[in-house]
Structure 1
Amino acid sequence: MVRLGVAEDQPLAVQQWQGLIAINYPARKFGLNRHVTITEAKKQCPNIICQHVATWKEGDAKWDYHDDAFQNIATHKVSLDPYRLESRRILACIKETLPADLQKVEKASVDEVFMDLSAQVHSILLERYPEISGPAPYDDPTEYLPLPPSTALDWQADALIDLDVEETEDDDPDWDDVAILIGSEIVRNVRAAVREKLKYTCSGGVAQNKMLAKLGSAHKKPNQQTIVRNRAVQQFLSDLKFTKIRGLGGKLGEQITSSFNTDNVKDLLPIPIEQLKQKLGDDTGTWVYQIIRGNDASEVNSRTQIKSMLSAKSFRPTINTPEQATRWLRIFVSDIYSRLVEEGVLENKRRPKTMNLHHRQGGQTKSRQAPIPSGKKIDEAGLFEIATNLLGQIILEGKVWPCANLSLAVAGFEDGIAGNMGIGAFLIKGDEAKVLNSHTRDVSVVESTPHRAEKRRRLVPTSGIGRFFKTESTEEHDDEFGAQASLDMSSSASPGHQTLDVRYADTTSRPSLVQEASTVGKHLPKLGTASVLKQKDITGYTCDRCMAALGSAAALQSHQDWHFAKDLEEEDRPRTTAKPFTTTQNKKVSGASGKKKALGSSKTEKGQSKLTFG
C-alpha cells in the first residue's frame, strides 16, 4: 500500500499466479481470506486491488513488477527481494530508536522482530526509582523490596490481558508490573518511529519471554499492542489452542492432540509431567509441561545469520534444452548475488564457500557441488561460470530432459577476513621510494665504519710447560689502529691506558693467544676482535708455525723455543705416561678363586720409582 500510494482503507490483496497470499484488514471485512480465488475475491469485493508480486522474467537481469506475470508462469519466477529490502529498513529503524549500548534485537522473519528490553528497562527503573539502587533491605539479599510508590499504572491505549482468577485489579502493582509498563512505553515509541519514518503499522506484544510476547502481538490487530503481565499468564494461555504456540503447530501438535484428545491448553494443564514424558519422551514432555505454563527459556539472539541462500523454479510446463536451463541459471545467479550484496559480500563481511545445483527429471534428482574460490572476489560473472559448469556436469550424465525443477544454492557462509593486504601494500613506489633509497645509501656510508668492540678476556690457568718460558708483553690490534698505535701501547703501560698481558696456553698442540685485561682505561678506544691467528703483524716478527705476531726479535726467539720445548714434550709423552695402579690389600673379589697381584707391582721402567703404601 505504501508503494502504490493507496488509501489505508482500500481493500487490497497480494497475488501470486492465480492465488492470493496476503489480504489487508479492509478486505477481510468482506469475508475474504487467503484460500479464495481471485474471481471469488472480486465477486465479494468488487473494488479490491490485486497486486501481483515482483518476478524475475526469463532473460532479464533484474526483478520487476509485471502486469502479465500471472499469465506467464512458465517464464517468470517470484522475487522476494522487495520484502527483504523493506524488512531491513524496518529493522534499521528499530535499532535507531533503541539505545545502541542497551539494545538486543533479533530478526525472526521478514516481518517479525524480537527485542530484549531488559537492560533498558533496568536503566529506566534506576532513574525513576533511585531508592532501589541502594543495598538490600537490612543487607539481606533475600529480603523483598518495598512495594512501588505508585498505586496505579497508566497503560494508555494498550490491550491488557485480564488477571488470573486469584488476582484482582484492586491489588497494588508490584515491580514486575512496573517493569512491564516501562517495556510497553519502549515498544510504543518503536512502533511510532516506524509509522512516522516508513509509514508502516506494527502490532506488538509485551511479556516476560519470547513465547508470550509473540502470542500477545497477534492478539490484537492491526496497529495495537497487547500487555501480558506476569499475574495474567495463566488466564491468557488457558483460552488458547496450544497449536498456536511456536513449536506445537506441526507434527508434535498433531501427536499431542491424538494422544490426549484435545487441542486446548486448559485441558493439558491437569496432566502430570510423568504422563507427558511417557507419551512424548522425557525431553519433549518436560518442555511441553513448561511451555503451556508460560515458561520459555529461549533468549533473544541478536546475531542470527543466514546459513544458505536458495533460488529455485518448478517448471510448468517442463523445459527441454540446455539453453533454457542456462537462462534460468542466469536468473538464479542474479537473485542470489543481489542478496549476497545485502549480506555484505562486497565489503568481505561474509561469503559462502560452496555452490550446489539440484536438477529433477521425473522422479530422479541429481545434484552437483563445487567450491567457491576463496582467493577471488565474488562477483556475478564468477558465480554464473560455476553454475554453468555444474549444469554441464549433470548434462553429461544424460537423461536430464525434460527438466521439472532446477534450484541453485550457496552455503557454508563464513566471516570474511579483515585487514589482509596484497603484495602491493608491501611495496613503495614513486617519490617515496626515491627518498627512501637515498636515505638508505647515506645510512650505509655511515655504518661502513667498523665499530671497535671490547675484547673478551679468557683466563687460563698458567700450568704446563708454558710456565717455564717468559714472554714479553705485546699488543694485538686490528687494521684500524696501525703499527704506530701498537708500538706506542706496547712500550709503556701508563695510567689511563689499557695493557694486555698475552699468554700462551698449553691446552692444544698449537698455541693460541689468550688476552687478559690488566688495566681498563677510560679514554682509550676499545680494541677490535679480529683474530691474530689469521692476521700477520706489520712489524714482521711473526711465527711461521702459528702465525702469532711478536713485538720484538727476542720475543720471537723465545716463542720459537717454546715450540721446540712443546715438540719434545709431545714426543716423550707416550713413554713417560704411568699406568694406573690399584691396591687389593685385605680385599677379595666376588667370584674369584684367589688373590690377584696388585697392578702397581709390575716391573718399573726407566725414570720411574716404586712406591710403597701402608
Structure 2
Amino acid sequence: MPSKFTWRDLLALNSKEQSFNTPLSCICHIDINAFFSQFEQLRCKFTENDPVVCIQWNSLIAVSYAARKYGIKRMDSLEEAKKKCPKLIPIHTAVFKKGESFWSYKPFGYNIDPSNHKVSLDPYRRESRKILKCFQKYCDQVEKASVDEAFLDLGRIIFKEIMTCKFFGKIQNKFIHGDYKLDEKLPDLFDIVSHNSIEKDSEEYWKFLGDVFNPNKRSIFVDWDDISILIGSKHCFKIQQIIRNEFGYMTSCGVSNCKSISKLASDFKKPNGHTIIKTNCLEDFLDQGKFEITSFWTFGGIKGKELVEILGLPQENSISYIRESWPNSHLELLEYLKTKLLALSEFKTYSIKVESSQECELVCLKLYLLTRGQWKELVNPKPVVKNMSAVKNMRGGTCACLQDCYSWLKVFCSELSSRVNELEKEYNKAIIPKTIHVAFRGCEKYQFVKRSKSSGLLLTSSKTTYEALYKNAIELMQELDKAYKQVMYPLTNLNMSISNMEILSAGSSVIDLFQKNMNTKNTNDIVNTKDCGAPLEQATKKDAIASEGASFYQCDQCDMSFSEKKEYNEHVDYHYAMKLSENLNGADEFSTSLSYGERLLLFGNKSNHNNSISNSNNNNNNNGKVLKKKVETATTNKKVGILKYFDT
C-alpha cells in the first residue's frame, strides 16, 4: 500500500522551524518525578525506598514515591504526614536569613523561624540547569517547560537515522541521487520492513522501547509516522537512561506527534514511565477515561472551566463529546460558542469576549484540534522572560522599620541577581532588566495600605549584580518610607521585582543595550547620540604599558588604571552610561564627563570642586576613585541639563 506521506513531509523533519508541524513529527516530554524530594534524597544520600518529603515551614511541597505508599499527599501538614509514617524523613528547603545575602541549608531538626527566613529555590534551579544542558547536548531543539520538565523535538535525530541506518537503504539511495520530487509519495513502508526482516538484528530494531498505548490492538506499523515515533521513542529512552546514570533521577516520558499529547502521556505512568502514543491510537488515548478538556495544560485554568460552562460540556467524556458534537469544522464550534456567549454574558463576565472574534476563533480551533490530538505547537528554546519577583509575607513585627526593609531587600537582591545570572548561563544570553519595582502592604491597623514605587534601573556593567540591585532598591524604599512612614509599619508584605528585560547575545555589554535603544528612538528624542559620544572616544585603550612587569589599561577621562581588560571595559561602560543619563537627567558639579569650561558655565567657580581638580593633578588614580564615588552617591545635588546650554 503506498504511503500517504510525501518527501516534503520527511524533509521537514530536518528543519527546526518545520519539524513540529509535519505529519511525521515526533515530540517527547520528559518530567523528573517528584523533583524536589528526589533532589533532597540524593543530596542527603538517602535511597529511593526512604520516605523523604521536602518541606517549607510546616507544609509539604514535594512527596517522594516511597512516602506516597503511606498515603501521604502534598496537601498534608507535616504533623499529619508523620502520623501516617512515623519514619518520615522531612528535609527543609534551603533558606535565606533576614539581613543575609546568601542561602544555606540548616541541620536536621533545626527549628527554622519563618518570620526571619525566606525559602530559596536556587539549589533546584541550578540542578535543573544541569539537566537541561544534558538534554541540549543530545537534542538541538529543547524547550524548558518548568524547573522539572522539558519538551524535545527529535526531528533532526530521526531524519539522520533514516538517512544513515542500514535498514533504510532504499530511501537513502533515492535521496542521495535526488531521485524524488517533493510531493512524491514515500516508498511503501511494507517493502522496507519486509526487505529487512531477514537481517539477524532487524527483529530487535523494530521493537518499541517503552509502553505503546494500544488497547484495541491496532496495527503497529502502518506508515512512516509509526517509524518516526519508533525512532524517537528509542532516543528518548536513551536520554532517560543518561539522566538516570549521570544524575540519579527517575523520569517519566511521553512520546507522540505533538506537545499536548506527549505532556499527557508523560503523566500517564509514574514513576519511571515511558508511554508511547502512535498516531492511529491518539483518540483511544484521549478517550480512555482519565482526561477531560481541563487536562490539557493550556486549558487547565480559568479558561478551561469557562469553556465547560459556556459549551455545556459533561463532567466526564468531554473530549469525545466535542469531537462528536462538532465533527466537521471548528467553525461549527465557533458559531455555537458565540451564540452561547451572547446569551450568558448578560448575567456573567467571562475572560473570553464575543467581541474579540479572532480570540474566539483561535480558542475554537485549538479546542477542535486538541480533542483530535492534532494541535501542533513549536518546541521553542527561546527564553520568554518578562519579569522576576521576590516576595515575603511578614509575620508579627519582623519588618517594623526602614532598617528591617533594608535587611529583606538584601535577601531579595541576592535572590534576583542569582536567578538572572543562572538564566544567562542556561540560555547563553545576556539578560538586562531595565525597570525595578518595590511594593509593600501595610498592617491591619492602617487597612493594609498598599503602595509601590518604580524606576529605571541603571546598571554600571552588563551583569545584573547584587550591589547594583540593592543600591536601586534602597533608594526606592527610602522614598516609600519618607512618604508613608506613618501608615505602613509593621509591614505584612514586601516584594521587589525587576522587569522590562532586554535579551542580548552572550558577551554583549551595556553599551550594546544603549546603542540598541538609541537606534529605535525617533528624531524628537532628547538624547542625541552625537553628543553622547562613543565610549572609545572617552576612554580609549592605550597600548599596554609595562609597569613593574605588568600591563594595564588606563582611562583618559579619570586616569584610573586597570590590570584586566574586562574590568577596564566595564569601567568604560560606566562612563558611557553616565553620559547618557546626564543628557537625559542633567549633570551635577561632580560629573567627570564635563569639561572645565562646561563646569564653570553651569556651576561657577566652586571651591570644593577646585580642590578636587587640584587634588586630581597630584594623585590621578586616587582622585579618579573619589570622583567616581561622588558621581554614584551624589543624589541630592542640584542638577542642570547640559542640553539646555549647548546645541545638540
Q: TM-score normalised by the shorter chain: which range applies? A: 0.5 to 0.7
2:333 is aligned, of 276, 279, 297, to 276
Contact 1:97 1:193 in 2 (8 A): no
2:449 is aligned, of 364, 379, 383, to 364
Aligned in 2, Cα 1:276/1:201: closer, same or farther, shift over 3 Å?
A: same
Unaligned runs of 5+ in 2: 1-40, 195-202, 339-359, 512-534, 548-648
d(CA) in 1 for partners of 2:109, 2:477:
30
d(CA) in 2 for partners of 1:429, 1:286:
64
Question: 1:322, CA displacement in angstroms?
Answer: 1.2
d(CA) in 2 for partners of 1:302, 1:387:
32
In structure 2, the residue matched to 1:74 is 115
In structure 2, the residue matched to 1:354 is 435
Question: 1:266, CA displacement in angstroms?
Answer: 2.1
Contact 1:54 1:63 in 2 (8 A): yes
Question: 1:154, CA displacement in angstroms?
Answer: 4.0
In structure 1, the residue matched to 2:235 is 186
Q: Counterpart amino acid of 1:279? A: L
Contact 1:52 1:69 in 2 (8 A): no
d(CA) in 2 for partners of 1:254, 1:125:
43
Residue by residue, what CA displacement relative to the aligned partner does 1:248-270 show, whole Å, maximum 9, x if unpaired?
21112212333223343222221
Secondary structure, aligned partner of 1:6 = coil
d(CA) in 2 for partners of 1:341, 1:283:
36
Q: Counterpart amino acid of 1:58? A: K
Q: Counterpart amino acid of 2:280? A: R
Does residue 428 (structure 1) correspond to residue 513 (structure 2)? The answer is: no
Does residue 387 (structure 1) correspond to residue 473 (structure 2)? The answer is: yes
- Could you state the TM-score of these two structures normalised by the residue count of structure 2? 0.61
Contact 1:137 1:144 in 2 (8 A): no
Identity over aligned pairs, percent: 27
In structure 2, the residue matched to 1:39 is 79
Question: 1:471-482 residue pairs with structure 2 within 5 A?
Answer: none
2:490 is aligned, of 382, 396, 402, to 402
Q: Counterpart amino acid of 1:130? A: G
In structure 2, the residue matched to 1:267 is 321
d(CA) in 2 for partners of 1:233, 1:389:
57
Secondary structure, aligned partner of 2:104 = coil
Which structure is higher in RCO with an 8 Å CA cutoff and minimum separation 6?
2
Q: Name the count of aligned residue pairs.
A: 425
Question: 1:368, CA displacement in angstroms?
Answer: 0.9
Secondary structure, aligned partner of 2:43 = coil
d(CA) in 2 for partners of 1:392, 1:262:
53
1:324 is aligned, of 399, 404, 410, to 404
d(CA) in 2 for partners of 1:250, 1:159:
30
d(CA) in 2 for partners of 1:157, 1:215:
18
Does residue 162 (structure 1) correspond to residue 214 (structure 2)? The answer is: yes
Name which one, 1 or 2, has greater alpha-carbon Rg.
Answer: 1
Question: 1:174, CA displacement in angstroms?
Answer: 2.1
Aligned in 2, Cα 1:404/1:266: closer, same or farther, shift over 3 Å?
A: same
Unaligned runs of 5+ in 1: 433-614
Question: 1:418, CA displacement in angstroms?
Answer: 2.9
Aligned in 2, Cα 1:322/1:46: closer, same or farther, shift over 3 Å?
A: same
Question: 1:430, CA displacement in angstroms?
Answer: 3.4
d(CA) in 1 for partners of 2:478, 2:154:
52
Question: 1:14, CA displacement in angstroms?
Answer: 1.0
In structure 1, the residue matched to 2:306 is 255
Q: Counterpart amino acid of 2:469? A: L
d(CA) in 1 for partners of 2:404, 2:460:
31
d(CA) in 2 for partners of 1:197, 1:82:
17
d(CA) in 1 for partners of 2:299, 2:227:
31
d(CA) in 2 for partners of 1:335, 1:140:
52
Contact 2:208 2:233 in 1 (8 A): no
d(CA) in 2 for partners of 1:17, 1:329:
21
Contact 1:310 1:409 in 2 (8 A): yes
Aligned in 2, Cα 1:407/1:84: closer, same or farther, shift over 3 Å?
A: same
Residue by residue, what CA displacement relative to the aligned partner does 1:71-110 show, whole Å, maximum 9, x if unpaired?
5111111111011010001111222234xxxx11111110
Question: 1:138, CA displacement in angstroms?
Answer: 8.1
Does residue 373 (structure 1) correspond to residue 422 (structure 2)? The answer is: no
Does residue 18 (structure 1) correspond to residue 133 (structure 2)? The answer is: no
d(CA) in 2 for partners of 1:342, 1:245:
30
Secondary structure, aligned partner of 2:103 = coil
Does residue 343 (structure 1) correspond to residue 386 (structure 2)? The answer is: no
RMSD: 2.6
d(CA) in 2 for partners of 1:58, 1:374:
25
Q: Counterpart amino acid of 1:260? A: L
Secondary structure, aligned partner of 2:441 = strand
Q: Counterpart amino acid of 1:367? A: S
Question: 1:473-552 residue pairs with structure 2 within 5 A?
Answer: none
In structure 2, the residue matched to 1:541 is none
Q: Counterpart amino acid of 2:162? A: L
Secondary structure, aligned partner of 1:131 = helix
Secondary structure, aligned partner of 1:316 = coil
d(CA) in 2 for partners of 1:174, 1:296:
20
d(CA) in 2 for partners of 1:46, 1:427:
70
Structure ranking higher in helix proportion: 2
